[in-house]
Amino acid sequence: MTKHLKIIDYAISSLLRRKYKSIAILVAYSGTVAALASVLFLTHSLRTETTYVLQGVPDLIVQRTIGGRHELIPVDYEEKISRIMGVGGVTPRYWGYYYDALTEANYTLVGAGGEAVPLDMLDGKLPATPDECAVGAGVAALRGSDNSRELILVNSRNIGVLFEVTGLFKTESSLLTNDLVVLSDEAVVDFFGFPQDKATDFAVTVPNSSEVQTVAAKIKQLYPDTRPITKRELIRTYDMVFNWRSGMMLTVFCAAIIALCIMAWDKATGISAEEKQEIGILKAIGWDTSDVLALKFWEGLIISLTSFLSGVIISYIHVFFFDGFILAAVIKGWSVLFPVFHLTPGFNLFHMLTMGFFTVVPYIASTVIPTWKTAITDPDSVMRG
C-alpha cells in the first residue's frame, strides 16, 4: 500500500510537470463526458416525469377523427360505449390548448368534471362556478396569479374573461400541472366555443386490464370514425419519442466521441520522446516494469476519473440547476412553449456505469499499452532514442 501511495504521489507530480497538456486533455475529456451525460440526464428525467404523468391516464381514451385529424366527439356516443361488456365507466372530457400572447406560452385548459388524474392541492380548491379556476405553478408564476388571485384569458370570440384563482396545484411531477388551468366543464365549452352536444374525447375505465384491447376493438367496430388509444400505446409512443430525440442528440455528439477516440488512438500508437526518456531513466535507477506500468496506470486513472466526474457534475448542474437550457429545445420539442418548469433530479446508475466503462477504460488502456512496449525495452536504447 505504501509503495502504491508513493507511485500515486509521483504520478500526480508527473502530471503537474506537464500541466498544460494535462489541462488540455482534462478540458476535452470533460467536455465530451458532459455532453453525453447531459443527454442521458435530461432524457432520463423527462422519462421519469412522463411515467408519473401516465400513471393517472385513463385505461382507454376515445377520440373522434375526421381526415386523420382529431375532431370533437358527439356526447351521445357515451351511451352505447358504456353498454359494451367490460367497460366500467365513460366520462366525457372537455379540454384544449390556449396560446397566451402575453407570456408567449401554451396553457392546457381542462374541465374539472372530466379530469381523471389525481391532483393534490397546495392551496385552495377546484373551481365550483364558471368564473373560477385552479392553476399550475408555472401559470401562476408567469401571470402573477398566486398574488393577485386573478387570471384573464382571451376566449375564442376575442373577449377577455376574468377568472378567480381558487387553487394552486402541486404534484410530484411539475410536468403534470405546470401549464395547467382547470375550469368547470361549462366554462371550457363556452371559452372554446364548443357545441353543446360535443366533447373533446372520452375517458373509458376498464377494470380488467386484459380486456382493454378487446374493448378498444369493439368501440372501433361500433363507431368507425373513432380512434381508441390505450394507456400502453401512450407509454410506448412517449418512449419512442424520447428514444428518437435522445438518439438524435447522441448522434450529433458523435463528433465529440470520435475526437475522444482519435485522442485515445494517438496515445495508443506511441508516447512522446520525453515520456520515453522518463521511463528509461526510471528503469535505469531500478524501477521494475510492473512499477512503470503501475505509474502510467495511475496517471491514466487520475486523468480519466477526474474528467469523468467533472463531466458528470457539470452535466448535472446544467440539467437540474439550469434546466438543460442548451439541449432542452431539442429533447422537449414543442413543449418549450410551456411555462418553464424545473426537472426532477434523476440518476440512472446503469447509464453512468456504461458511459464510464466506454470512456475511462479505453483511455487507461491507451496509456498502459504503449508504456509496456517501452518499459520492456533496454533502458539505454530508450534514453538514446
pLDDT for residue 139: 87
- The predicted pLDDT at position 8 comes to 87
Handedness of CA 233, 239, 242, 246 (dihedral sign): negative
DSSP string, 323-349: TTTTTHHHHHGGGGGSPP-PPPP---H
Question: With b meaning 16 or more CB within 10 Å and e meaning fewer, what string describes 43-81?
Answer: bbbbbbbbebbeeebbbbbbbbeeeeeebbbeeebbeeb
Neighbours of 289 (CB within 10 A): 15
The pLDDT score that the predictor gives to residue 117 is: 47
Asked if 130 and 190 touch (Cβ cutoff 8 Å), the reply is yes
How confident is the model at residue 328, as a pLDDT? Answer: 65
Residue-by-residue pLDDT tens, the chain, 385 positions: 777 788 888 888 888 888 888 888 888 888 888 888 888 888 787 777 777 777 778 889 999 999 889 999 999 999 999 999 999 999 999 999 999 888 888 899 999 875 444 566 667 788 889 999 999 888 888 888 766 788 999 999 999 999 999 888 876 556 677 888 999 999 999 999 999 999 999 999 999 989 999 999 999 999 999 999 998 888 887 777 666 666 666 666 666 666 666 666 665 555 666 676 777 777 777 778 788 888 888 888 998 899 999 999 999 998 888 877 777 666 555 444 455 566 777 777 887 888 888 778 877 877 777 777 666 665 555 555 5
Residue with cell 387553487: 167
- Please state, as a whole number, how many other Cβ atoms lie within 10 Å of the Cβ of residue 195: 10
| Confidence (pLDDT) at 215 | 95
Q: What angle do CA 338, 336, 43 make, to 5 degrees?
A: 115
Residue 175's nearest CA partner among 230, 242, 243 is: 242
CA distances from 114 to 123, 161, 190, 260 (A): 21, 22, 15, 53
pTM as predicted: 0.68
Helix (H) or strand (E) holding 71: strand 69-71
Question: Which residues lie across from 180 on neighbouring strands?
Answer: 108
Distance CA 369, CA 373 (A): 7
